[in-house]
Every structure is written in structure tokens, then in C-alpha cells.
Homo-oligomer: A and B are copies of this chain.
Amino acid sequence: MPREKPKHTSAARKPAGTGVSLKFLAEHLGLSQAAVSFVINRSPAAKSIPHRTQELIRAAARELNYRPSHIARSLRQQRSFTIGVVVPEISEGYAALVMSGIEDHLLQEGYFYFVVSHHHRNELIEEYPLLLQQRAVEGLIAVDTVLSDRVDVPGVAVSGHRDVPGVTNIVLNHDRAACLALQHLANLGHRKMAFIKGQAFSSDTEVRWEAVREAAKKLNIEVKGMLTGQLEGESSSPLLGYQVTQKLLACGEPFTALFTFNDISAIGAIQALREAGRQVPEDVSVVGFDDIQSAAFQNPALTTVRQPLREMGTIAAEILLERITAPTKTPHPKEIVVEPELIIRASTAHPPKTPGLN
């Protein structure tokens, strides 16, 4: 009779394709899957397994390069450690900054995330959250997007501005933002101001505009319909700001200051002003919004209202994970307000001495 070989019946396969499974590892060790699982996960049940055996198991796991299937684990534990992020589009500076804040916190906590971008198409805004849920995300973060309430995982909206049940809103203090900008311009001596509102689909547009009107009223500044433009179109190119500004100039109403919806449109606006022979800031002061990276490196460097976009992303991730891991602790905040900051650079100055020159 031949000497008995070490247990190596190996019903579990190990063709390079899939990596080694728990079953394979257990058989290799001559132990049950349960025992191996206990040790690998440092489960309390492992306390009855002697140190010697534990080391054997860990050594084998390392040697065979065992990596538990996250999918199998998710299925069993009903925990995916995955969340979904819904953004309008990726290329835009805004969403990218928020995402990088989100990512920071999520990866650090061992969560991964799916990103989907809907390009403002309604059917996608409806469908993606459901698809994400099907993929067992434990929560959703929506950036500048209104989450429908058909979703039953915790949600956090960055600039969502809609009262959706179960969704926490992270919003900028727009009142303060508008005050900062208008106050700054008023202090410089500006009275005739023009404004560029955001696209209708952006959830910030409405709130911010309301805040601007409020602030203007407080400062006793007139908001003329003729001097109020609105961005139009999907893209996030400076071209939109360029076009609106041309219209504002064409209407003939004089102005010495322009408050735009974001930095991108401010950049386009400055271009249009310059082409029309108006110098920035000598003839017209321009205040942007967001403080995207390149704002500081425009010529002239942009005065702008800074939104702490990265922080907003981080906060969103923090709140979401809190809500996921301790759903009962806090009933969950409805809204979290972050503060803007006025960054004064070179695109604003006193109005020209001959005011109203057009």
C-alpha cells in the first residue's frame, strides 16, 4: 500500500482564473470553511481555535494569496460597503471637486462608490438611483441633482434644495453669499449692477437668485429686469456666459458691475466685455462664484464667492456613513449649511469716475 499523501483531494478548483476560494483554502488545510472564516475575519468565534492553528491558517492564506470574494460576503451579510454618487456630469469643475471630497472620506472608511452622470436627462435621473439600488448601494449622494423619493436607502444631496423625505441637504448659505458679493460691490461704490442667473435645471439657481434679490433690497440696490441674464444650454463652457453678456451689453442699459452665476460664466463674460471695449475691472467689475482652481489664474484674477466644494463632498460622505452605520442614533439632520467666503482678487474695483458711461 502506498504511503498516504497529505490530504489533497482538492475538489475545489484553483485554475488561475478565479483565485483561490475559501473552500479550496480549507481543503488545502484539512479544516472546515467555518474555521478558516473565523480566523480570517478575527471573529469572536475564533477564540476557541488555538494560536498554532490560527497561524497555520493565516500563513496558508497569505501563501495562496487568498482574497475573500467581496460579492459573496456582501450577499451573505447584506452589506455592500458601496455607495452611489449621482452627478450631472464629470468633466465640470464643480462636480469633480465635490467628488474628490466624497472619495477622500469614503475610501478611507473602506467604502467604494459608483459614479453615474445623467446630463440633466430626466429619465436617467429617475433610472440611475434604481439601478444603483439594484446593485445594493447602501446610500446615495446626489450632486446638484434632485433625488426622487422612490429610493429607500439613505440619501444626501449636495445643493439639492428640495425637501425630499429621507434626504439630508448640504447647502451653501446663499443669503450670506449674496450679501458678501453685493456688499463688496456696494462698498466699492457700485450702484448699477447686472446679474447672470444659472440655468433653469441647476438646483442652485432659484435659491441663489432669491438671495440676491433679498440682499439687493437690503442694500437698496435696484435689480433691473433688463440687466438680468440667464445662462442657457447644457454645456458648462464659458461660451454661455459670453453669450448672455453680449445680450446684456446689447440692451443698452448701463452697468458698472456684473455678478455671475459661476466662475466659468464669469470667464466668458469678461471676454465679451473686453471685446465690447469695456475693461475689467476699470469699466466693469465682475464677481464670479465657486472659486474653481483656475479662477485665481485668470487675467484679471477673479474676485469670487468661494463655495467649499471639497468640504461639502466630505461632509456629505460623513453624514451618509453616519446614517448608514448608526441609523437610529440621530434622527438625521434635514439640512447642513456651509458658509461661503469672499475671495477678493483683481476683477473688481471702484466704478469709473464718469458713472453710467455706456
Contact = CB atoms under 8 A, between A and B. Distances in A.
A89 interface: yes
A133 interface: yes
A271 B300 CA distance: 10
Contacts of A236: 293
A60 interface: no
A40 interface: no
Contacts of A93: 91, 93
Contacts of A274: 299
Nearest to A91: B100
A244 to B, nearest CB: 14
A99 B271 CA distance: 29
Interface stretch (A50-58, A112-120, A171-179, A316-324): A112-120
A97 to B, nearest CB: 6
Contacts of A91: 93, 96-97, 100, 293, 310
A41 interface: no
State the oligomeric state as a number of copies. Answer: 2
Of A18, A19, A72, A299, most buried by chain B (CB within 10 Å of CB) is A299
Contacts of A72: 75
A32 interface: no
A148 to B, nearest CB: 14
Given A71-B71, A134-B70, A135-B71, A268 B297 contact: yes
A336 B97 CA distance: 30
Contact of A71 (B74, B114, B238, B298): B74
B78 A18 contact: yes
Contacts of A70: 134-136
Interface string A89-116: 1110100110110010001000011111
Contacts of A298: 298-299
Contacts of A113: 114-115
Interface of A: 16-19, 67-72, 74-75, 78, 80, 89-91, 93, 96-97, 99-100, 103, 107, 112-117, 130-131, 133-136, 152, 236-238, 264, 267-268, 270-271, 274, 293-294, 296-299, 310
